Structures are given as C-alpha cells and as structure tokens.
Amino acid sequence: MKKGMVINMGNSNIDVIKDAIISGRTSLGIELGSTRIKAVLMDEHFDPIAIGKHDWENRYIDNIWTYTLDDIWEGVQGSYRDLSNEVKSKYGVTITTIGAIGFSAMMHGYMVFNKAGELLVPFRTWRNTITGPAADKLTDLFQYNIPQRWSIAHLYQAILNKEEHVSEIDYMITLEGYVHWMLTGEKVLGIGDCAGMFPVDSNTKDFNERMIKQFDELIVPEGFSWKLADILPKVMVAGEYAGKLTEEGAKLLDPSGNLKPGIPFCPPEGDAGTGMVATNSVAKRTSNVSAGTSVFAMVVMEQDLKKVHTEIDIVTTPAGDPVAMVHSNNCTTDLNAWVSIFNEFAEAMGIEADMDKLYSVLYNKALEGDPDCGGLLAYGYYSGEHITHLDEGRPLFVRKPDAKFNLANFMRVNLYTSLGALKTGLDILFKEENVKVDKVLGHGGLFKTKGVGQRILAAAMDTPVSVMETAGEGGAWGIAILADYMLRKKEGETLDSYLDNKVFAGKTGTSMEPDKKDVEGFEEFMKLYTPGLAIERAAVETLK
C-alpha cells in the first residue's frame, strides 16, 4: 500500500485501520538513513498505513563526517511527528500506543560514551575513511577482513592516534543502538549490526571470543581500565525481546506526550539487515542490493569464502547466518546533483519541472544510450572508497574528444558509475570465489524510476533482478516487520519461514532478466573505469 492510497478506501477499511491504530495492532519502524529519516507504521497485514519523513544531511567538521546529537533527535522526533500528523489527517485518531517498535540506521560507525552517558567525541559515521592503519593491522591480526567503517577499526585507530577520550570509554555503540538505548535503557544491538562493530560467531550468535581475546592482548600496553567485552552491547537475534519504551523514552520520541510508555521493542538493526528483511533475502543463495546515497549488496552464503578479501565484509542476517557484503560509500549523491542541475536549467528557462517527472525522463533517457556509455567516464565519489582503495573522493566526469557525448550517454554513465565500485567487489565474489545466487532483489531510491535502476543492476550483476512494490519503503518497513516478528512469531518459527509464509506470501515482485548487450556494455565500461581510477586519484591529490 503506497502513501496516499488510504484516502480512496471505503469507510469500512478506514474503520478497520483506525481500530488497529487505537488498539495497538500495529508495528512502527524508524530508519535513520544518510539523507532521510523515515518512519513507517504497519498494520497486522504488513501494509504501511502511514509514513513520516525528515530530511537531514551529514556535516563535514574537522575532517570528520558526522551528525550531532541534536540532528539525531530532531530527525527522530520530526519523522515520528510527521507520521503522527498523517495518522491524524487520514484516520482522525491520535497514536497513543503501538504493538511493537524497532529502530534501524546506517550501519557501523563510532559512538562512544563515558560512565555519565556523555558522548566523548562527535559521532564518526560509516562514511569516514580515516582508519586505514587500524583496519589493516586488525585484518592481519584476526585473519578476517576488518573494513575501515567498522566500530572496532575506529576504536583502534583512536588508540593508535593516542586520543585522550579512549581511556574514558564506558560504552561503544552504533547509531540505532544509541537511539534504542535512550528510548528503552537497554544496551543491546541486533547481530547484523553487531557483525559490523566486531566480528561475530554465527554458531554462538555472539561476538567472536578468540578475536576479543586477541584485541585485549593487543591493547594491554595501553593500560586501559576496560576490556573490549565491557564496552560492547549485548548481541541479540531477530525475534528476541529487547526492552520496552520507558517514560523518559516516550517523551523523547513524542514530546507531545500522547505516546504511552511500555511498548515492546525488537533488537535494533543496521540498514543492511532491514534491507534483507524488506526484500525477503535472508535465505541462502538469496541476495539484495540497497541503492541510495551508498550502495551495498548482501549475499547469504552456503559456505565460508576461501580467502580473506578486504573488499568484502562478512556480516550476518538478523537471524545470525553468514552474509558476504559488498559496500560502496557512493551511489546516487552525484546522480542527484546532476538532476538538480537540470532542474536549475529548467527553472532558468521559466519551466517548473516536477522532480519525479524529471528523474523519470532523465533516467529513461539513459536507456537510449550506448551500452558502453559511448566512451564517457565518471566517478560519483563524494567520499573515499575502500573497494577501490581511495581515502577521499572527488566527483569527476571526463571524456576523450571522440567520445559520444550526448544526454543519453551522459545519464547512462552516471548510472553505471553509481554501481562501479560495487561491481568491482561483486566480481571478486562471483568470478574468484564462485559464489552462487539464485535471485537478487533491489530496493532503495535508485529503483524508484520503474525499470531503469533495475536494468542497470541486472547488467552489472549479470543476474535477474526483482523489485517489489514495497522497494521504496525500504528498511523502515523492514524493521517494522522485525518488530512484528518479535511480537507475533510462533514457537520455533524461523525468520525466513515467517517472511516466506506470511509477509511475502504470493508476492513475487517484478523481475527483469539481464540484457546481453547491457552486460557486455557494462564490462566494456569497467575496462575504462578500473584503469581510470588513476585519474580519480590525481583529482584527489590535486584538488586539496
């Protein structure tokens, strides 16, 4: 059910939804994304019945990508307030209770607090590529890939940097775990995002004990009063009860005072895990690709990889099963910037362009371009990319004089390059490790223009790609489903069974086979993209 559809329903349907809201037969999911915080209220049939949004932007302060605590709470409250207003407008009722609540956010990053609960340094988001020495050292120590954005890499880099705050750390957590803590008082985190803080053991469903000991031994000379296990959250899996909304938390989430305390919470999860849920991709040999400001592909594996690859993270599903994750920091930001330029041009010509139509026209124009983009080359690198070994990024467009420079190829190259770093990592997974995937489901902003992002991704992965009607709802809907699973699952009912038999029963989405010419064209583009990274590196060095 899309936003706005409820208005056209019959009175009986509205009455049913109204009763569900009043009696709390609902689930609320809120996800803090890179540029938007989204709240989805879902009924017992898994349909979104109200949506709230709050736009925000990260700040670049003292060479750190960050959001302030004020940014976080203005955004959380703003998205909930927007949702509450929509409920009031459409159904004529005020939300006072909810069946269950869940929070999700951009994975990883670094938030550390002292014993008084005070944030010790500004939140360091996943977007920062400032932990190279620490990530390399820990990867070598553990013989397990530790990406730069993982919390443990940030922690160890702070230790290497001799940052004074480290000795005061009492708790280290990710963004959604922080929000959950403030609303419930519980220091917990879902295993999917725990696996992005520090390696986990899928057998024990906990942090890897061997590596915990190795890290503690590594930092003995520093003389800290804490050990790593002391400052990490409790690991939880999907379906577990993770606390309830406190009185203070209720006032923090809903300053109007309408929302009552006592509402149960599911474990908070990272956006990768909620994306897997939202696309029914938690079973083995399934994959999903979330494409927005950043882009990542999740592949649920049948067995471990043969070797360590720094381009590939090993994380888990919300239920704790191992997943290969290819994560790129940059996806649609530069695409959006170019669309905004075309909108400015339209305004300068006295034309008031609808942004949805503008995206549709430009994206569909790309499909008229040459399969290899006519020899054009672009990099939408607003920040660094660990997959292509760049600590910083510079958005870049370049062409040879004889390249086929037209609007179709220009839009096509910007769509291709939004997946360029991702494809670099996926090629390792598919071509070197021979990992098999039966189906791929796409979700996120890239897929909102029907058929375009889906076709480009199918070309990049040479695999059929499906997009469901709920793709635009994304992780906020996914965490609402996890909240519902915690509330209503039957004894012994697994997450993948719950999704197959209840949430997605009869829903297959729209599937698109890869076009052979597109696949070949993308491969030709990559023959420019990979060596052309030298140009990107030169831009980083030159444009300080």
Query: Domain map of the chain by residue range?
Result: 281-467+514-544
Cβ atoms 331, 291 nearer than 8 A: yes
Cβ atoms 295, 180 nearer than 8 A: no
Residue 6 clears pLDDT 70, i.e. is over it: no
Residue 424 clears pLDDT 50, i.e. is over it: yes
Tell me the CA distances in angstroms from 279 to 471, 507, 509, 510, one per residue in order: 7, 11, 10, 12
Question: What's the pTM value of the predicted model, to 2 decimals?
Answer: 0.80
Residue 170 clears pLDDT 60, i.e. is over it: yes
CATH 1.10.3720.10 fits 281-467+514-544, yes or no: no
Mean pLDDT across the stretch 507-533?
95
Confidence of residue 3 (pLDDT cuts 50, 70, 90): very low
Give the pLDDT confidence of 450-465 residue by residue, as tens digits.
999 999 999 999 999 9
Tokens 């709240």 found at: 39
CA geometry: angle 479, 485, 490, nearest 5 deg: 170
Q: What is the distance, to the nearest Å, from the Cα of residue 331 to the centroid of all Cα atoms in its chain?
A: 12
Residue 60 clears pLDDT 70, i.e. is over it: yes
Distance separating alpha carbons of residues 381 and 392, to the nearest angstrom: 8
Cβ atoms 318, 190 nearer than 8 A: yes
Provide the residue type at 249 as one letter: G
Residue 147 clears pLDDT 50, i.e. is over it: yes
Distance separating alpha carbons of residues 459 and 282, to the nearest angstrom: 23
Mean pLDDT across the stretch 52-74?
95
Q: What percent of the chain is modeled with pLDDT above 90?
A: 83
Query: Crossing angle for the helix pair 452-461 and 355-366, nearest 10 degrees?
Result: 40
Alpha helices, DSSP H, located in 164-244: 175-184, 191-194, 209-218, 228-231
Quick one: pLDDT at residue 19? 95
Residue 11 clears pLDDT 80, i.e. is over it: no
Give the pLDDT confidence of 217-252 residue by residue, as tens digits.
999 999 999 999 999 999 999 999 999 999 999 999
Quick one: pLDDT at residue 473? 62
The overall average pLDDT reported for the chain is 93
Structure tokens that stand for 91 in this block:
């159904």
Quick one: pLDDT at residue 302? 85
Mean pLDDT across the stretch 13-37?
95
Distance separating alpha carbons of residues 303 and 306, to the nearest angstrom: 9
Mean pLDDT across the stretch 313-330?
92
Query: Crossing angle for the helix pair 209-218 and 151-160, nearest 10 degrees?
Result: 10
Confidence of residue 12 (pLDDT cuts 50, 70, 90): low
Tell me the CA distances in angstroms from 174 to 62, 276, 532, one per residue in order: 21, 19, 35
CA geometry: angle 426, 429, 432, nearest 5 deg: 120
DSSP assigned state of 463: S
Mean pLDDT across the stretch 126-154?
94
Instruction: Please give the residue that has the higher pLDDT: either 470 or 104.
Output: 104
Structure tokens that stand for 408 in this block:
């179709």
Kindly report the number of other CB atoms within 10 A of residue 269's CB atom.
36
Mean pLDDT across the stretch 329-345?
96
Structure tokens that stand for 12 in this block:
């009986």
Give the pLDDT confidence of 68-120 residue by residue, as tens digits.
999 999 999 999 999 999 999 999 999 999 999 999 998 889 999 999 999 99
Torsion over CA: 476, 477, 478, 484 (sign): positive
Q: What percent of the chain is modeled with pLDDT above 70?
A: 97
Q: What is the 3-state secondary structure (H, E, C) of 290-308?
A: EECCCEEEEEECCCCCCCC
Torsion over CA: 492, 273, 422, 385 (sign): negative
Residue 38 clears pLDDT 60, i.e. is over it: yes
- Cβ contacts of 429-436, under 8 Å, gap ≥ 24: 429/299, 429/312, 429/324, 429/326, 430/461, 432/309, 433/305, 433/306, 433/309, 433/324, 435/299, 435/301, 435/305, 435/324, 436/285, 436/302
